[in-house]
Structure 1
């Protein structure tokens, strides 16, 4: 089937462990068009970012966000979208835990924030868990944080029975 590429969104996220024991998770979201585009009097050449959003959170093993910084080096409505990045300092004090994304939508949804930066929060939060996973799961005594976080790792399922038998809580699954 013949088709033409029109839009590309790239999300890239890096997780770092800092010398002070905290973690920085930095995400970028970039939207580009495959063609030259004029919008609101601004000409964007093919491949130039329409949106270039950055979000960094700092947190510890307790998942409490102690710092947050957002910026938008490229945005479609200059002079208007610029109001959004400072709002994301309100991430400070939030904890990555059940209900986190519901609270994110309440704090930043709709006209309270930027659609693109708010969307990036979920991906950044997921990468925080991935970044800290080895350290968090290093103790065989603590319940692995990822259990009951997805269909494969439900505590009554075969994967948990096989790979985390101490945390298996069902009788229906069979290890093959």
Structure 2
């Protein structure tokens, strides 16, 4: 296996224009539920004339939005809270939380994007909050099943072999059923040509 590059190649001469930062932080609550704090911040590298706010200085957020989504072990949303700290229009700040509450009771899993669009798509919700909550599902998956598997594993005991492949197999080039990762770490699900010794 070759070493991965440590950075992108040097770019052509350029200047910064726009930055979007997205962050997800996961927490296990004392009541057994899980909180995922999600944040989106958009900034411009130059002063920008806004429609209603006037001149926005470079580096000040055009958008700064946060979501706290509470889920159970099955990734079903139990609660959701949002705050829009900065947005181009007052309507963005005042009306974002109520539509997001329509997601309570939905499960982050297959059909998640369609469920979001059905509940808060188009003018029923905020584009940026939709983008943020959609991607929160992958962060929730990174948080919950992995943590639970590590806690349930007995030190020194072999890993149990599942009857069915995990849902992520076959969904990424690294986890291709005929690829070397599956052949190495989950050979019972490997579907490629087996190499002879």
- Contact 2:22–2:39 at 8 Å: present in 1 too? yes
The higher-RCO structure (CA 8 Å, 6+ apart) is 1
- Contact 1:27–1:120 at 8 Å: present in 2 too? yes
Matches within 5 A, 1:31-46: 31-42=42-53, 43-46=55-58
Q: State the distance in 2 between where 1:164 and 1:137 align.
A: 16
Structure 2 unaligned runs (5+)?
Answer: 1-11, 154-159
**TM-score scaled by structure 2?**
0.79
Paired residues in the alignment total: 175
Number of the residue aligned with 2:173 = 151
Secondary structure class of the residue paired with 1:10: strand
**TM-score scaled by structure 1?**
0.87
Matches within 5 A, 1:16-95: 16-42=27-53, 43-95=55-107
Secondary structure class of the residue paired with 2:74: coil
Q: After TM superposition, give the deviation of residue 145 of structure 1 in Å.
A: 4.7
Q: After TM superposition, give the deviation of residue 91 of structure 1 in Å.
A: 1.2
Measured on the aligned residues, the alpha-carbon RMSD in Å equals: 2.3
Q: Which of 110, 118, 135 is residue 147 of structure 2 equivalent to?
A: 135
Q: State the distance in 2 between where 1:116 and 1:146 align.
A: 26
- Contact 2:67–2:82 at 8 Å: present in 1 too? yes
- Contact 2:39–2:66 at 8 Å: present in 1 too? yes
Note the alpha carbon deviations across 1:108-150, whole angstroms, 9 max, x for none.
Answer: 2221111100000122111001111323434625454533332
Q: State the distance in 2 between where 1:59 and 1:70 align.
A: 15
Determine which structure has more spread, i.e. the larger CA radius of gyration. Answer: 2
Structure 1 unaligned runs (5+)?
Answer: none
